[in-house]
Amino acid sequence: MLETVEVLTGPDPSAAVIWLHGLGADGHDFEPLVPQLLWPDAPDIRFVFPHAPVRPVTINGGMAMRAWYDIVSLTSGRDQDQQGIADSIGRAFALVKRERQRGIEADRIVLAGFSQGGAIAVQLALRYPEKLAGLIALSTYLLLEDKLVEEASEANRGLPVFAAHGTHDPMVPIQLGEMLAGKLRDMAYPLEWHSYPMPHAVCPDEITDLSAWLRSRLA
């Protein structure tokens, strides 16, 4: 089981958000956003921020850092490390299973991720065998596209998705986010898509929009 940072917004959580960080960050990266994501009379929610394993990353000279899988190139080959991708999907699956064992219904669990973590969240959410509450895909991209149609879970064919991207993103060009959004639309997922004038980051308007979307899923 991955080490995690957990934030409970109340003593009796009836919902959970599992949020995967980006390359080189850790589970503390999005922890400060929790108060900004809540709304009046929000239910008690458990936010789970896992730490990715430490592994060598090719694009960073083989330096070991927290990463969900190895990245060979920023322009191509993002999904070459299929073993690393599968390993991280399995680890994230275990976190969802733990929430189920803690008494959270599957349709009260949101999977979220930013950048590399978002790519893993997308992989798992669209394949998860029980209906989830939703998927949050921030500044991210689609992996293993050729396998998605055949591997997508029937239970989550109608999974609501919030996807957002920065128009000035130098790390993950917005075209990759638009390709992800287009694929989700083609497969008839209910998609809320936003772009913001920002780099590879999050911004206040995005958090406001995301809070409203979360309220629609978990209120």
Catalytic residues: 115, 169, 200
Task: Point out which residues pair with 45 in neighbouring strands.
Answer: 15
Tell how far CA 180 is from the center of its chain: 13
Q: Distance (Å, rounded) from C-alpha 164 to C-alpha 177? A: 8
CA nearest to 6, candidates 46, 66, 37, 44:
46
User: φ and ψ at 6, to 5 degrees?
Assistant: -120, 135
Q: Distance (Å, rounded) from C-alpha 136 to C-alpha 117? A: 10
The phi-psi region of residue 103 (left if phi > 0; otherwise alpha if psi is between -120 and 50; otherwise beta) is left
